[in-house]
Amino acid sequence: METGAMALEGRRVLVVGLARSGRAAVDVLLGRGARVAVTDRRPAAVFGGLPGKLKKAGVELALGRHPEDRFLEADLIVVSPGVPRSLAPLQAARDAGVEIVSELELAASLFDGPLIAVTGTNGKSTTTTFIGHFLRAAGRRVFMGGNLGRPFCEALEGEHDVAVVEVSSFQLEWVGGFRPKVAVLLNVTEDHLDRYRDFEDYARTKGRLFAQQDGRDFAVVNRDDPVALELAEAGRAEQYLFGHGPSPAQGMYDDGESAWLVEGDGVHRVSLEGFRLRGRHNVENLMAAYLSAHLAGISCQRLDEVIPYLEGLPHRLELVAEVEGVRYYNDSKATNVRSVLCSLRDLTEPLVVLMGGKDKGGSFANLEPIVRRNVRALVLFGEARGRIREALGHLVETIEVETLADAVARARALARSGDSVVLSPACASFDQFESYEERGEVFKQLVWERKHVGNGGMPSGGDGVSK
């Protein structure tokens, strides 16, 4: 058994939620001799042939419901991140003393190697990817996943020297012994207020990243974010700070032209000349990743060589095309207000911004300064369009439509040569799409259709794949 691994042989383990992380947890549990049951609120029909395969493997299924007796009978419950902690049977099990963990903690207890965990309201995926690139370039066998895409449990299937895991607040709700060697907190701003009681509740959940660390571990923290700093101060790990402007603190800072690594009595200059991504937020992501890889044992010389090859992620201020002098950017991953601010503040040309989707409870009024600065028009779609209009509609020309296809058509009519059209929704995608990735792909397809038809018409009806 792995050092410090969770005992599973013969235990009755309930997996709550049968999305990808739940399925990965089931495989791990079966492979280690657990007696596995699964509940999911969705009916069996949505899972195709999976229920049949699980039954053949000996898994007990309760689909379309969450029967409380299954929760109370379990020795251990593994919760998928999409399952809210307020679920009544979960609360009943907790009150009865049943051990409850997240898929993240299950995997971490079984993973035999150092773990780098990255969280924050924004920038998690980019920073996690940068760290993975740094480590792979140095010859490390890296598992990269978590909230980024591959469940952490999948790391147990192969041979890896190190795991780099993007961690959401949802995944941190049920951790107790989770202890990363390097814990990265990028920022903490309003998000997911449809799930948490208030901002303080959300922030406290993020802070659980540091709870089990000690003086042998490292905390990489944004010194320009007071909430992040306060959360890290409550932990015991050695801190490495990053931020903008000169600082004597151990860590990194940038001066607009270079970044500087400060460690002990030494200072190392990191050239930003070859770094291709726009925006101060991407410099922050770079510094956090550089520090993390350095703390994992990679030399500065090797890290410096990799910087020019780092690229941005799909759906994050991704330039799709230029059509009739207008640039179209896919920023579908901007699912909260702070993320939109980070994207738009580095675009100086006139903007037509597409916003909307499923409201997550943040304050759209915080976007007022950036809208006043250089936004020509807002095109609002989806469930949240009315609330966004209340906050920002008095500032610039504002149009409400139903679908993303309608929004792209109206944006094309509004934009002039030299403008940029930016899909930067500030909302989740789940009112019309399965994910922000699907929303971004639909946007790109709509733009490419326009580019290919030249002066022809842009579709103005439904996009054909919205849900």
**Whether residue 66 lies in the annotated active site:** no
Residue 338 pLDDT more than 80?
yes
**448 confidence band (pLDDT: 50, 70, 90):** very high
Is the four-CA dihedral 309, 315, 316, 321 of positive or negative sign?
positive
Give phi and psi for 430, each to the nearest 5: -75, 0
For 22, other C-beta atoms within 10 Å of its C-beta total 23
AA letter at 310: L
pLDDT band per the 50, 70, 90 thresholds, residue 4: low
In the chain, the amino acid numbered 408 is V
Residues facing 142 on adjacent strands = 162
Domain 318-453 homologous superfamily, CATH: Mur ligase, C-terminal domain (3.90.190.20)
Of 160, 181, 192, 294, which residue is the catalytic one?
192
Are 202 and 224 contacting, i.e. CB atoms less than 8 angstroms apart?
no
Q: For residue 36, what are the CA distances in angstroms to 25, 32, 89, 101, 251?
A: 10, 11, 17, 15, 45
Query: If you search the block for the tokens 């007071």, which residue do you land on?
Result: 226
Cα distance between residue 138 and residue 136, in whole Å: 5
Architecture, CATH, for domain 110-309: 3-Layer(aba) Sandwich (3.40)
Position 450 scores a pLDDT of 78
pTM of structure: 0.84
Q: In Å, how far are 182, 265, 422 from 285, measured between CA atoms? A: 15, 24, 22
> What digits encode the pLDDT tens for the residues 293-311?
999 999 999 999 999 999 9
Q: How far is CA 215 from the centre of its chain?
A: 27
- What is the rounded CA–CA span in Å between residue 436 and residue 391? 23
* Mean pLDDT, residues 86-111 taken together: 97
463 has pLDDT over 80: no
Q: Is the pLDDT of residue 459 over 70?
A: no
Is-contact 332 358, C-beta < 8 A? no
Does the pLDDT value for residue 112 go beyond 90? yes
Average pLDDT, the chain: 93
Higher pLDDT, 459 or 394: 394
d(CA 29, CA 32): 5
Mean per-residue pLDDT for 74-102?
A: 96
Output DSSP code: residue 158. S
CATH of 12-97, one of 3.40.190.10, 3.40.50.2300, 2.60.120.260, 3.40.50.720: 3.40.50.720
Mean pLDDT (whole number) for 116-145: 96
Choice among 122, 147, 222, 330 that is catalytic: 147
Our CA angle for 6, 110, 239, nearest 5°, is: 105
Reported as half-sphere exposure (CB side, CA atoms, 13 A), residue 176 has a value of 6
pLDDT band at 457 (very low <50, low <70, confident <90, very high): very low
Catalytic residue among 66, 122, 124, 160: 124
Does residue 407 register a pLDDT over 90? yes
- What is the enclosing helix (H) or strand (E) of 125? helix 124-137
In this predicted structure, what is the pLDDT of residue 158? 86
| Tens digits of residue pLDDT in 360-379 | 988 999 999 999 999 999 99
The answer to whether residues 317 and 278 touch, using CB atoms and an 8 Å cutoff, is yes
User: For residue 462, what pLDDT is reported?
Assistant: 33
* Residue 124 annotated as catalytic: yes
The proportion of the chain whose per-residue pLDDT surpasses 90, expressed as a percent, equals 87
| pLDDT level of residue 453 (50, 70, 90 thresholds) | low
Asked if 131 contacts 293 with a C-beta cutoff of 8 angstroms, the reply is yes
* Best CA proximity match to 145, nearest among 57, 223, 81: 81
What local confidence, expressed as pLDDT, does residue 1 receive? 32
Structure token pair of residue 263: 């460690």
Looking at residue 278, its pLDDT comes to 81
Distance in angstroms (rounded) separating the CA atoms of residues 24 and 137: 28
How confident is the model over 426-436, as a mean pLDDT? 94
Q: What is the pLDDT of residue 465?
A: 27
Alpha-carbon span 64 to 284, nearest angstrom: 43
Q: Tokens 């990028």 appear where?
A: 186
Q: What is the pLDDT of residue 62?
A: 97
Dihedral angle, C-alpha 103, 108, 111, 114, nearest 10 °: 140
Q: Are 149 and 127 in contact (CB under 8 A)?
A: no
Give the list of residues 6+ apart from residue 44 with CB closer than 8 angstroms, or none. Answer: 51, 61, 63, 64
pLDDT tops 80 at residue 267: yes
Supply the pLDDT for residue 430: 93
Region label for 408, one of left (φ > 0), alpha (ψ between -120 and 50) or beta (otherwise): alpha
β-sheet bridge partners, residue 351? 375, 420
Average pLDDT of 420-443?
A: 96
Q: Provide the pLDDT for residue 6.
A: 84
Q: What is the pLDDT of residue 454?
A: 53
Least confident of 3-17, 112-126, 201-215, 259-273: 3-17
User: Kind and range of the H or E element at 16?
Assistant: strand 12-16
Q: What is the pLDDT of residue 458?
A: 38
Distance, CA of 116 to CA of 238 (rounded, Å): 14
Angle subtended at Cα 203 by Cα 262 and Cα 95, rounded to the nearest 5 degrees: 130
Look at 64-73, 92-101, 343-352 and tell me which has the smallest mean pLDDT. Answer: 343-352
Structure tokens belonging to residue 93: 């099990």
Share of the chain above pLDDT 70, in %: 96
Contact 107, 78 (CB under 8 A): no
Q: What are the phi and psi torsion angles at 358 (to 5°)?
A: -90, 120
Residue ranges covered by each domain of the chain? 12-97, 110-309, 318-453
